Amino acid sequence: MHPCKRICDITGFEAPYYDPRTNLRYANAEVFKAIRSLPNDYVQRYLALRDAAVAKWNPEGGLLSSSSA
């Protein structure tokens, strides 16, 4: 058996990378820039769609912790 392929949370293409700040998976640098420009509530929605850990952010934009669903 092979491991499951990781899929980009934005484009749906295969995603060899993930952003450690948001936990979103991405396919290329262009998508990475888009992810970094997303407001926190959009990031939370993308993570919820994947049923992934939802990151908790403080008001200054830093990651506090993450909890799994």
The amino acid that residue 8 corresponds to is C
Average the pLDDT over 53-68 and give the result.
56
Q: Which residue in this structure is represented by tokens 């899929």?
A: 7
Location of structure tokens 């060899």:
16
Q: How far apart are CA 53 and CA 40, in angstroms?
A: 14
Q: Which helix (H) or strand (E) holds 48?
A: helix 40-50
Please say if the pLDDT value at position 55 is more than 80.
no
pLDDT tens for each residue of 1-39: 888 889 999 999 999 999 999 999 999 999 999 999 999
Kindly report whether the global pTM for this prediction surpasses the value 0.75: no
**So what's the pLDDT on residue 56?**
58
* Cross-strand pairs, 65: 56
* Between residues 38 and 68, the one the model is more confident about: 38
- Res 50: pLDDT: 86
